[in-house]
Amino acid sequence: MGRLTWKIWVVAALAPAASAPVRAETRTACTALDICYCVNSDYLAAISANVARVRQLLVDNKAKGKAIGYLSVPLSPAGGGSFEINSEAARHIASEAERRFGSSSAFILNPGAEGGDAMVGASGADYMYMWTQILEGRSGHGEDFDFFYFAGPTDFSTYFLPPAKDGKEPQRNEPGQAEDYLGELNDFFDRRVASDPAFRKAVEQGLISKAGFRIYYGFRASVAFSYGSHDEWNIARLLNERRRGAADYGIANQLSIFFDGRPVDPGTFESVAASGDAGRCIK
């Protein structure tokens, strides 16, 4: 997830010149793992409600015998992307991963689909305060999850590349191996402008450019460039560190970590990433 994880609707209203702008009250909120965020107090009730709802969703799927995964994926348009396209790609990546593992045997929590209606307008820090609580679980060992799935450029390419000639399976070449992948992105951009009025308007307003779109999705569509995903990587690392030191878990029961569809080696998933949205309020 990115700093502006979900789309923010800004409603402008005329007000008397003398009236002062209303500022949301922010406070430092820390989770059971002592990971802190500067959050908007107005969203605390919605965060608590969604934590309870999503935890129950996980319990229900685990009761069906499913392995539970968490999809870390950039949703913010920061860097040249599109929130709508990132959201569509997230659904596609989650669906493809479930299909690969077996939809009857695995459930992947897609944060883009389970953010909660009451969270519209929240910041990346607000969302990460919520997702951190969900990820760490009640015991602080991530007991509701079995694996993390960090989305990378190959995952995104399966969304953009056209289906195979037989129309049955999507083309699965990696971006670096696909012939003229940037050209495919150019064609996708043109089709989107022609078919999506909202996307076309964003282009006309200069919010999205063809060159920026091509560079972002060609080279940066990955958790490596996402604020929230950096925090989620560090959460996964911390959960595994706690599991290694817990008698009930140990090395054999760490959370599995995938990046770009492949399992990550221990030396990599034990490494710390730069913080994203994590941090206390600065007064």
More confident residue, 283 or 205: 205
Has residue 166 got a pLDDT over 60? no
Length of the chain: 283
Task: Write down the pLDDT at residue 3.
Answer: 43
Q: What is the pLDDT of residue 165?
A: 54
The answer to whether residue 198 scores a pLDDT higher than 90 is yes
Give the confidence band of 179 by pLDDT, cuts at 50, 70, 90. confident
Q: Quick one: average pLDDT of 140-157? A: 96
Q: What is the mean pLDDT of residues 92-112?
A: 96
Give the model's pLDDT for residue 168: 55
Look at residue 8 in the predicted model and tell me its pLDDT. 35
Q: What is the mean pLDDT of residues 42-66?
A: 97
Question: What CA–CA distance (Å, rounded) separates 64 from 72?
Answer: 23
Q: Is the pLDDT of residue 263 over 50?
A: yes
Instruction: Give the model's confidence band at 66: pLDDT under 50 very low, under 70 low, under 90 confident, else very high.
Output: very high
For residue 2, name the pLDDT band (cuts at 50, 70, 90).
very low
* 161 vs 278: which has the higher pLDDT: 278
Nearest alpha-carbon partner for 109 in 67, 166, 154: 67
Burial of 58 (0-12, 13-18, 19+ CB in 10 A): buried
Q: Which pLDDT score is estimated for 67?
A: 98
Domain boundaries, the chain: 26-152+223-269, 162-221
The mean pLDDT of 276-283, rounded to a whole number, is 91
Rounded CA-CA distance 81/104 in Å is 33
Share of the chain above pLDDT 70, in %: 86
pLDDT(80) > 80? yes
pLDDT value, residue 116: 87
Whether residue 273 is predicted with pLDDT greater than 60 in this model: the reply is: yes
Which residues are within 8 A (CB) of 15 and not within 5 positions of it... i.e. 6 or more apart?
none
pLDDT at 19 over 60: no
- Gap between the Cα atoms of 146 and 142, Å rounded: 8
* Poorest-pLDDT segment among 49-58, 104-113, 160-169, 180-189: 160-169
Closest to 68 (Cα-Cα) out of 95, 93, 98: 98
CB 235 within 8 A of CB 35: yes
Give the pLDDT of residue 164. Answer: 57
Are 161 and 171 in contact by the 8 Å Cβ rule? The answer is yes
Other C-beta atoms lying within 10 Å of the C-beta of residue 189: 22
Residue 178, judged by CB atoms within 10 A of its CB (0-12, 13-18, 19+), counts as middle
For residues 87 and 112, what is the distance between their CA atoms, to the nearest angstrom? 6
- Give dist(CA 6, CA 198) in Å, integer: 16
Q: What is the band of 77 on the pLDDT scale with cuts at 50, 70, 90?
A: confident
Share of the chain above pLDDT 90, in %: 79
DSSP the chain: --TT-S----------TTSPPP---EEEEE-TT--EEEEEGGGHHHHHHHHHHHHHHHHHHHHTT-EEEEEE---S-TTT--HHHHHHHHHHHHHHHHHHH-TTTEEEE-TTTSS-GGGTT--HHHHHHHHHHHHHTTTTS-TT-SEEEE--HHHHHHHHSPBPTTSSSB----TTTSTTHHHHHHHHHHHHHHH-HHHHHHHHTTSS-HHHHHHIIIII-SGGG-HHHHHHHHHHHHHHHHHHT-TTT-GGGPPEEEETTEEPPHHHHTSPPPPSS------
Lowest average pLDDT, out of 87-91, 115-119, 152-156, goes to 115-119
How big is the CA angle at 228 (ends 64 and 113), to the nearest 5 degrees?
Answer: 40
Q: One-letter amino acid identity for 53? A: R
Predicted pLDDT at 120: 87
